[in-house]
Amino acid sequence: MSDPLHRAAPEASDADPRGGRRGAQDALQDPRRGAWAKYWRMVVGDVGAGAFLWYELVTGLFGDWPGALGYWLRAKFYPRLFRSCGRHVVFGRRLILRHAKRISLGDDVILSDGVVLDARGQAGDGIRIGDRVFVGLHSVVTTTDGTIELAEGCNIGAFCRIGSYGRTRIGRKALLAAYVYIVGAGHETARTDIPILDQPYTTRGGAEVGDGAWIGAKATVLDGVKVGEHAIVGAHALVTQDVPPYAIAVGIPARVTGSRLDRSPAGG
Ligand SMILES: CC(C)(COP(=O)(O)OP(=O)(O)OC[C@H]1O[C@@H](n2cnc3c(N)ncnc32)[C@H](O)[C@@H]1OP(=O)(O)O)[C@@H](O)C(=O)NCCC(=O)NCCS
């Protein structure tokens, strides 16, 4: 794990949805707080000393343990870190877990090496990961005061980023290729006398990827947009508007170029 007290990257993930200020980042930079309090708040949130010490102990001892023994140790000791955890969950090496008491894991979930799960905040339901979900190498799933659902059996490729300040859902058996970005928020830009960074953040409620949809490599789905069930979004697309179920959409901005239903031998 890198230095836990590093300055958070200047991304919308640190905005405060209610106050419009960059709540988490401001808290980390508040000179009135000690380093210990900042660390505690950042990694585990408002939990008791027991949960905090357990987090420190098991992630410190086993988080970086290589090989099969590392997987075994994490499978044994990591489940208690979470709000709930199903059976046979695979915990990769060097996971970064934030506010894990707001994260639920189903059965047979696989979290690959370097995955980041961050469910900070008080509102919303945090992160809910259904049965048989696969999260690929170094993907980031992050919400502040929101809810992210990765529904049963969906597959998140490597190096994806899924953010939310509202409610974001990746549907059942949906497939996200590598480097997909599901955007969770934007920034107010009305004032020109102060930096955008200091203006309130905005959200359109979160994005949704329907059941069975396929999002191609490096595509971006903007906040407030729904990709319909079983639709296809081409590689490198920028999805700014809803995509109907079974549609194929490509380009920047993404435009619908056809429907899978027209190609299906069964006609649907
Ligand atoms: C979108 C996709 C599924 C093909 O859909 P399709 O409707 O069968 O597309 P076609 O190959 O028939 O091409 C139709 C048109 O769209 C264009 N097109 C296809 N994919 C495109 C893309 N990703 N971006 C922009 N244009 C694209 C084609 O050039 C073609 O243009 P033309 O009519 O001017 O010649 C495919 O191109 C794609 O992007 N797949 C994602 C691959 C991926 O990310 N894999 C990761 C592993 S999970």
pLDDT tens-digit map of 219-259: 999 999 999 999 999 999 999 999 999 999 999 999 999 99
Give the mean pLDDT of the chain. 89
In terms of residues, how long is the chain?
Answer: 268
Q: With bands split at pLDDT 50, 70 and 90, how would you rate the model's confidence at 16?
A: very low
Q: How far is the CA of 256 from the centre of ligand 1 (A)?
A: 11
Q: Whose CA is nearest to atom 2 of ligand 1?
A: 234
Give the bridge partners for 181, in sequence order.
161, 220
Tell whether the model's pLDDT for residue 28 goes beyond 70. no
Nearest Cα neighbor of 168 from 244, 223, 246, 115 is: 223
Is 88 assigned a catalytic role? no
Q: How far is the CA of 233 from the centre of ligand 1 (A)?
A: 9
Four-residue CA torsion sign, 144, 1, 3, 178: negative
Nearest Cα neighbor of 181 from 135, 222, 151, 227 is: 222
Beta-carbon count within 10 A of 180 CB:
27
Q: Which residue has the higher pLDDT, 207 or 22?
A: 207
∠ CA 127-113-168, nearest 5°, is 25
Is 257 near ligand 1, meaning CB less than 6 Å away?
yes
Tell whether the model's pLDDT for residue 19 goes beyond 80. no
Q: How far is the CA of 264 from the centre of ligand 1 (A)?
A: 17
Is 176 near ligand 1, meaning CB less than 6 Å away?
no
Domain ranges of the chain: 4-10+34-263
The residue-averaged pLDDT of 1-9 equals: 31
Is 204 near ligand 1, meaning CB less than 6 Å away?
no
- The pair of three-digit structure tokens given for residue 91, joined into one six-digit string: 């915990």
140-169 pLDDT, tens digit per residue, is 999 999 999 999 999 999 999 999 999 999
Q: Whose CA is nearest to atom 40 of ligand 1?
A: 234
Looking at residue 158, its pLDDT comes to 98
Q: With bands split at pLDDT 50, 70 and 90, how would you rate the model's confidence at 22?
A: low
Instruction: Spell out the CATH class of 4-10+34-263.
Output: mainly beta
Q: Whose CA is nearest to atom 44 of ligand 1?
A: 216
Q: With bands split at pLDDT 50, 70 and 90, how would you rate the model's confidence at 85?
A: very high
Is 231 near ligand 1, meaning CB less than 6 Å away?
no
Give the separation between CA 118 and CA 106, rounded to whole angstroms: 17
Q: Whose CA is nearest to atom 17 of ligand 1?
A: 250
Q: Which residue has the higher pLDDT, 87 or 9?
A: 87
